[in-house]
Structure 1
């Protein structure tokens, strides 16, 4: 049976910590993650986008989570073509030319750091979120294909931020050829930067949806402005047929909430879990056990 896993994009956001979502006694790093796993079976980790993690850190994540829990891990910014400050690189790589050699070395260290999650079966996927500046075309495809080649044998998901990628059927075929999960998104509609809620299935292993909120500042405001939104049950219910479509065609479906401010993402994830019959039965069985 397909597993539909619902969670949030992070468990350490300062706004979430201040919201009171974590109960007393569970506000230290270990306690937060252990508490999170009692509520959700999947989480996205965005800290590796900003700096390479260490194997010691990811080993701790694996040790604090139950079997079957999934981590979806964002790729380091340099690997996806985002601007990357020299200080974000390991000290011995800061003077290295920004070339293929650097990308290969960064990937090697990134992969070594995530090996504990992969080896324990807790890695859901690597998430390669490409910037709005990466427009579709031969050069962009070559850049993504090179990243996929480096990550051969790893689960690989792609999210585009330029809506032009989804104005052509070529994109789904391209990702299918790469054996890469096409990430579906929910954002506000009607803006030049709005992303369409398309849900193509490009690999039988995994499908993924990221709910970014419906802020009118999407693509233009501060980070807090872009992702501030409180989802209603009615908004989430409209996604149920699309989620069912994905779940019928893939082994796992990950539904992740990235709408920030206080506990908005956690609340939305809890609402979505209640709306999904499979999630309700899975959660009840877990609680009974």
Structure 2
């Protein structure tokens, strides 16, 4: 079984400020990434969700990490159905989008020719990592209001078509996709397009989340994302930052319990990625190390 563990990001302000993960004197972007990559085989880039990634940054990431290191990249928020502001786009793209009179832009607001260019630039930005053999999955975390149905299915299919040739992982946030009525058809959709189903661990008692379904849809990769189990801050309106929203420290017992189904799915695929998205201070890094020890994985 090949199981790679890591965290969502390596530069969160609370992680740096807590001074428990990075050694003294490890202050530059380069030094932090090099140190992180000496501890873990995998990381998820979350900055690419908030703004379009750049090929220059991707080239630096490839240069600063070992040959067998892997980056999972989050898709830019506009492509996943979330809202975005014009300032998150390059000036030429922003000015090519007609004024809507609203603060936020959505996918439906973008003219088709601008969308084509946006997708092209997004793919180009990933190329340095792909050429270096360090690009894992491109993670599409779809907006919580994107529900299962003709419109939602069409958008998932468009993303799959636009990203042909890449390994695409899909995380649903709307509970309609994986409920008792639609789970089977949703998983069939993912298998048809060879998309990787993201298995989510999150607070069990909240309703505004997709169900946790331990199923594999791509024989090459399984993907588990652990968001913590803090129901009080799960709603975005209840947290000012991601580190607050996903503030949760998994116990050794919880991680031991999770290791069972993780091993089970890992036996069905070539590689399994496990990402800790509990990003307050060094929670994700500590929990990832503990899980690696439980699974018998080396850093």
Q: Same-fold call, TM > 0.5?
A: yes
Q: Aligned-pair distance for 1:17?
A: 0.5
SS in 2 for 1:141: helix
Q: What does residue 135 of structure 1 align with?
A: 147
1:174 to 189, 193, 203: 189
Give per-residue Cα distances to partners, 1:193-227, cap 9 Å, x unaligned: 24332121000111111110111121242134421
Give the structure 1 partner of residue 286 of structure 2. 267
Structure 2 segments unaligned to the other structure (5+ residues): 98-109
Q: Which among 186, 195, 199 is matched to residue 184 of structure 1?
A: 199
Aligned partner (choices 128, 150, 160) of residue 148 of structure 1: 160
Q: Does 2:43 align with 1:43?
A: yes
Structure 1 CA distance, aligned partners of 2:65 and 2:17? 23
Number of the residue aligned with 1:195: 210
In 1, the alpha carbon distance for the partners of 2:13 and 2:244 equals 16
Matched ranges for 1:11-90 at <5 A: 11-20=10-19, 21-90=21-90
- Is the aligned partner of 1:100 residue 2:115? no
Structure 1 stretch displaced more, 215-224 or 44-53: 215-224
The answer to whether the 8 A contact 1:8-1:269 is kept is yes
Instruction: Give 1:237 shift.
Output: 1.2
Shift of 1:269: 0.6
Match of 2:102 in 1: none
Whole-angstrom distance in 2 between the partners of 1:25 and 1:205: 39
Please report the TM-score for the alignment, with normalisation by the length of structure 1: 0.93
**What is the 5 A alignment of 1:230-269?**
230-269=249-288
Gaps of at least 5 residues in structure 1 are: 284-289
In 2, distance between residues paired with 1:242 and 1:101? 44
- State how far apart, in whole Å, the 2-side matches of 1:151 and 1:211 are: 25
CA contact (8 A) 2:6 2:276 kept: yes
Query: Number of aligned pairs?
Result: 279
- CA–CA separation in structure 2 for the residues paired with 1:254 and 1:89: 30
